[in-house]
Structure 1
């Protein structure tokens, strides 16, 4: 807020008082009585003597030789009262988190490579199908990762699936660091048509193999998605993995 106007000043006025006087009444004059020459006794006056008043004058105020000058009182500034509370500052507009804008799907093209910069994964891709039991095949070795050919290619509408081992022969596999991926990390998949489908991780979930939610992982989508799958939940007694780690991601370009 802009500061207010300056405080007002009170002005002290000087008032000069004038002097006043009343005029008195002068003495009354009477004519002396006339003596009657005919009689020896005095006679009463025949006429009423006229009373004359002398002119009245108002004395002028005398000014002293060295008049004492009046001292001017300095104007007393009127100070604004201090605010009892801090003025309310305008709130800044709250910035809302922009919603993720989904990219239009890409044309069909087989993937050839996957790169996850945040965790240092860089692998070529092989093709995987279904085994005799109808389950998803797994890569024959710890490297490289594999793309499931029964689903859409990365960038097409639907959930593209890429799988890899977390460990192989006692050593970390291609997806060994997958547990360190975080929401917001990017995944780049190079395709046969020399284009790159870039995905952003939305969430990471772990599911027991006995209750794996196939519909949630492999179900139809209205946009281009990606699923990265590896083993997790190592049982120290049996030495087997009892769960699967699934990374969900959406196409951003």
Structure 2
């Protein structure tokens, strides 16, 4: 199978990002699968022709985003791919998180608003960093879930994010769209944040629905996964 991993990497600013994204594409293509251990750091560094410290940074980044699982005693396993039809996954999140944010608009406090503001600003500042953007995006949605004060809701949103982290189409769309997609997500997050700040459940629900409509458009435009020859 020919690997064309560089085809859709959107000019990462650091070498470890480029290496990690190329490795992520191989995972999505099934070259590295959950039923076998990932090659060692040394072997991967040789394959990608980079130093071991660079390879180590790439592996840690993919662990943080949920694509890899650290093994006790060293090494990594590929996270199991919880296959979800992107349209169904987005529709589910649109329904659930639309109601969650409406509850949060009533229950949220000033400290949580400040944390959401900080996350949104950081996301905008780090828009070129695929890994950091994913971490901040996840934190934003989890903070809203936690604002409801309902642990079951928080666990549900966490579960939905685990599915997103191994969704090939979702990751591919973010990689291909790069900073342009991140700018759109930041704009949507600011609309959600504004409605939470106003304590307006109806506006919060509309803003969250609009956010997921935007996510659906992004995946439709950028999310096709190339399988190679």
Shorter-normalised TM range: under 0.3
TM-score by length of 2: 0.21
After TM superposition, the score normalised by the length of structure 1 is 0.19
Q: Which structure's residues are more often helix, by fraction?
A: 2
Larger relative contact order (CA 8 Å, sep ≥ 6): 2
Largest Rg, 1 or 2: 1
- When you count strand as a share of all residues, which structure comes out higher? 1
